[in-house]
Structure 1
Amino acid sequence: MKKTSPLLKLYLGRGVLAVAWAVAFAYGHNPIGALTITLLVVYPLIDAVSSLIDLRALPDGSERRLTLFNGVLSTLAAIAVGVAGAGGVAPVLHVFGAWAVVSGAAQVLVGLRRRGPELGKQWPILIAGGLSALVGVFYNIQALGDDASLDVLSVYATGGGVFFIIQSGLLTWRARRRQAQTI
């Protein structure tokens, strides 16, 4: 349970922050101004800080390298989306979309490596990562059209947050079940 407990807290915290961010962004992104750009920078930074926290508990290996990669990528995405904010909706969607594709793929890989008896099957994390990659492609397509909107980012963050909260609930259930079996 030692490995599960920090991950459970990390997933729960990350999920709650994502949902809170989505609510704030839903009400504060029109027009693109200082508040919108700040919120756009904060979201990938949540991912970067989460990766840093996760990294501290991981042993050397491919999972650690993927987590480090995701943290660096999210930090770069925060900078890029902040710069893109000055260009309007389409550049923001392109940057956010590219980040969603690559970080979603990395999340799937980490989820696959964490599948095991202690950490479960990681289905919510795998689904969230896969959807992130797919939605990122959609954002880049949407950015090319005339109806580009940042409204979709609140839905993205809510969905990701809910999947992290579900995963933390499953980890809690698994730990309690395992503890009951040892008693």
Structure 2
Amino acid sequence: MPTKIILFLFALTMLMFITLATHSYSQVNDNSYDYIFAHRYSGIHNLIFLNSTEYSGTEIVNSDKKKPAVQKKIEADSTGGKYSISIRESMDGERILICLTLLDSDNKLYDKEIEIIVYNMLGKKVLDLFKGIPKPEECARDYEIPKGKLPNGLYLCVAQSEKFRIVGKFVISR
């Protein structure tokens, strides 16, 4: 029993010695336990931490030593065409009208197969609206979605082909 008390007192004394011998400040600003900064302190720190010779600090250089800026510019849209989707409600309020503007890179009307699909916000396909080649006139017709086919909610209308993918959002609320 007395040896346990002696060991406890010895451990407490050593802990107090280490605590008082170190330069500890608030934990927010305390970097004394970082091996990089150990060379700033003396005493018990030199016994515990090794001095670092690899740390060189921050180097301030002249502008002529700076690396050149990146010279490449990446375009956001690499397809070159003008593709847009316009979604609106019909005058009577019973349908959702979708109009696509599809111009190729040389401002010709797009003449390849497209598909228009409606998804709910969970990503589930709820309606295949159109699949085929669009009419030759720009916005030849409005693709129509009767509101009665879909429940209230937020939907994504995706028009896609081999060259583009455009998305429009619409809400059905009655």
Tell which has more relative contact order, 1 or 2 (C-alpha 8 A, sep 6+). 1
Please, what TM-score do these two structures have when normalized by structure 2?
A: 0.24
Larger Rg: 2
Larger fraction in helix: 1
Larger fraction in strand: 2
Please, what TM-score do these two structures have when normalized by structure 1?
A: 0.23
